[in-house]
Every structure is written in C-alpha cells, then in structure tokens.
C-alpha cells in the first residue's frame, strides 16, 4: 500500500458517508463530520470520476441520465458505494452504545481509515478509550488531515500503526494504554473478504486470546454466493471486479455453518446474526431512493464465552 492508495480508499469511504449526510433522507448513519475531512477539490474529483465511470456500472443508467450528472452520482453512490458501509456502521455503533451500558471501557477499531466516532461522541471522553488500528500510511494521512482541518485529537483516542491483517500485535495497543483485562468491543468492518479463511480464523483467535469474558466483536462477511451472485444492476459482480482491479482481490466467503465453527474455535458465540433480508428490514425499509441492503453481505455480533 502506498500513500495514494491509503488516501484514496479512506477518502472514497468518507465521500460516501459525507454524501449520505448531505443529501439522503432518512439517514441510515449520519456521519456529519466526514465532509470536514474531505477538501472541496477531493469531493469534486471523486464526484467527477464516479460520474465519468457510469458505463462501467450500468450502460442503461448512463443512457437514461446522460444529461443528469447529479442523478448519475446519486445512483452510483446509493446503489454501489454506500449501502454496506452505512448499514454496517450503524449496526456496529448501535451495538457499541449498548455494550458501553454493559461495562465496555475500550473500543478497538480495526481498519479505522477516516473514522469519526470520537468526534461524534465527545461525551464519551473519560468513559471509553478508543484505539484506531490501521496501516501506517493511512494513519499518517489521517493525522495530517485532522491537523489541516483543526480537529484536536482527544485524550481518549489512541492511534496504533499496524498491518493487523499480516500480524496482529497486542503489545502495540498495550504500549498506548490498552488494558487486556478490561471488557473490550472490537469492530472489524470491510476486512473479512480480503483475508483467506485461515487468515481470518487466526486473526479472531489472536484478537480475543487475552481479552476477558463478555468482550465482543462486530464484523461483516460475504456468504457462499459471493462469486456467483450478480446482485441489483450487477453490483455484487462489480464489487468483486473492482477489488480485483485495485490489486486487493476478495479471497473468502463463508456459509453460516462455517462461520459458526470458525467463531467456536476462537471461543466466541454468535449473539446476533443479520442476513441481507434482516439488514434490509432493519435499515432500508420504506425508502423511496436507490438504497437497499447489499446481496450476500451479513453482519455478526459475537461475544467471548
């Protein structure tokens, strides 16, 4: 990963959250800080690139809205970019709020990118220690962006530079104040697809090896139809092809039984599982725009036994 790749990945994710916060109603997940972390030039560049790439996503839409660039952008963002990042973030933070009431004192965000949780919930400073774990180049980019936009880093936010997909090092977290004896909540969003099944299983075991009972994790994963399902307007197929073209191919998908066994081996119990239909009902029902739950994508909240 180079600096451009680190910034592009985090910026596109922030772009989709900012777009939703600015233009979509009702809100699934309102990241009202995201727009502050993207410059006007970056927003305009991403917008232009998306509109110019419409023929890759859908020729019919390209023809239908050929003189309506804003509608093309809305279609691409709502159909392809936003559904999973928005709904999984909403699900994750809903669970986290409940876990805080149940005694969680530490929140580990794996693959944090330009996450804004600590800035949207400043009242948790003093109650929740937040550890953002990501690739060094991504974190360097974020720190620069926070400085440029005059956001102060709160005392409860700790940066941990690490390629956790290759080697998860608990000592790096401990070095900045992490306490392995405290009940901890972990988010692992948008990661499982890019690891082999063996790598994902190993990571889960390493994450929870020393954590106390009741610590938990929220993550998303693709089911066994990932590589055969096309989805609405071929969006699942597009997602797989875009990942391959970017040099980070999707490597794994799981049946529910496989996931259940994998979590059992890590001493974790599935507390809640949301299928695509359940995600649709919980986050996308009664909408009149293009937003809908992504096919093949599931969410899990698992707790250490």
Provide the CATH number for the domain around residue 102.
3.40.50.150
pLDDT-based confidence at residue 7 (cuts at 50, 70, 90): low
Query: Do 250 and 143 reside in the same domain of the chain?
Result: yes
Same domain, 59 and 173: no
The per-residue pLDDT for 4 is 55
Strand 106-110 and strand 216-222: the pairing is: unpaired
The average pLDDT across 199-206 equals 96
pLDDT of residue 6: 56
* Mean pLDDT of the region 257-266: 97
Please indicate, yes or no, whether residues 165 and 18 belong to a single structural domain of this protein: no
Same domain assignment for residues 163 and 14: no
Number of domains in the chain: 2
How many CA atoms lie less than 13 Å away from 106 in the CB half-sphere?
A: 23
Q: What pLDDT score was predicted for residue 247?
A: 85
Mean pLDDT score of the chain, rounded to an integer? 95
Q: Which domain holds residue 35?
A: 3-81
> Considering 19, 50, 81, which residue would you say is the last residue of a domain?
81
Q: Are residues 77 and 33 in the same domain?
A: yes
101 and 189 assigned to the same domain: yes
**Which among 90, 261, 102, 125 has a CA at the least distance from the CA of 184?**
102
Per-residue pLDDT tens digits for 136-186 = 999 999 999 999 999 999 999 999 999 999 999 999 999 999 999 999 999
Whether 76 and 88 map to the same domain: the answer is no
Cα gap 40→42, rounded to integer Å: 5
Q: What is the pLDDT of residue 8?
A: 76
152 and 257 belong to one structural domain: yes
Q: Write down the H helix ranges in the chain.
A: 3-23, 40-52, 54-57, 59-64, 69-76, 83-101, 117-120, 136-148, 170-174, 197-208, 235-245, 256-265, 276-279
Q: Are residues 161 and 18 in the same domain?
A: no
Q: Are residues 162 and 260 in the same domain?
A: yes
Domain boundary residue among 57, 81, 105? 81
Residue 241 gets which letter from DSSP?
A: H
CA–CA distance, 37 with 39 (Å, rounded to integer): 7
Residue in this structure with the two tokens 């996931």, named with its chain if needed: 259
Q: Within this chain, do residues 280 and 256 fall inside the same structural domain, yes or no? A: yes
pLDDT value at residue 267: 97
| Residues β-bridged to residue 159 | 132
What's the pLDDT score for residue 1?
45
Instruction: Tell me which of 64, 81, 98 is where a domain ends.
Output: 81
* Shared domain check, 123 and 75: no
- Look at residue 9 in the predicted model and tell me its pLDDT: 79
Are the C-beta atoms of 147 and 137 separated by less than 8 Å? no
Record the pTM. 0.95
Mean pLDDT of 89-98: 98
């Amino acid at each position: 990963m180079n600096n451009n790749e680190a910034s592009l990945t985090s910026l596109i994710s922030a772009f989709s959250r900012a777009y939703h916060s600015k233009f979509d109603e009702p809100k699934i997940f309102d990241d009202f800080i995201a727009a502050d972390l993207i410059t006007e030039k970056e927003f305009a560049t991403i917008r232009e690139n998306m509109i110019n790439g419409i023929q890759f996503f859908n020729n019919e839409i390209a023809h239908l809205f050929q003189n309506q660039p804003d509608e093309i952008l809305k279609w691409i963002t709502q159909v392809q970019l936003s559904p999973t990042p928005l709904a999984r973030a909403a699900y994750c933070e809903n669970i986290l709020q409940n876990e805080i009431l149940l005694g969680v004192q530490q929140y580990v965000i794996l693959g944090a990118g330009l996450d804004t949780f600590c800035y949207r919930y400043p009242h948790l400073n003093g109650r929740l220690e937040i550890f953002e774990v990501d690739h060094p180049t991504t974190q360097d980019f974020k720190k620069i962006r926070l400085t440029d936009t005059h956001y102060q880093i709160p005392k409860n936010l700790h940066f941990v530079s690490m390629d956790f997909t290759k080697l998860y090092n608990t000592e790096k977290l401990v070095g900045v104040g992490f306490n392995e004896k405290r009940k901890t909540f972990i988010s692992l969003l948008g990661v499982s697809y890019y690891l082999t099944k063996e790598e994902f299983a190993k990571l889960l075991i390493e994450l929870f090896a020393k954590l106390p009972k009741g610590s938990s994790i929220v993550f998303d994963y693709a089911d066994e139809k990932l590589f055969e399902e096309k989805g609405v307007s071929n969006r699942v197929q597009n997602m797989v092809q875009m990942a391959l073209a970017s040099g980070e191919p999707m490597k794994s998908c799981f049946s529910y039984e496989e996931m259940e066994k994998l979590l059992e081996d890590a001493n974790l119990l599935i507390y809640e599982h949301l299928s695509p239909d359940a995600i649709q009902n919980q986050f996308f029902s009664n909408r009149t725009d293009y937003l809908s739950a992504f096919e093949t994508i599931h969410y899990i909240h698992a707790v250490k036994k």
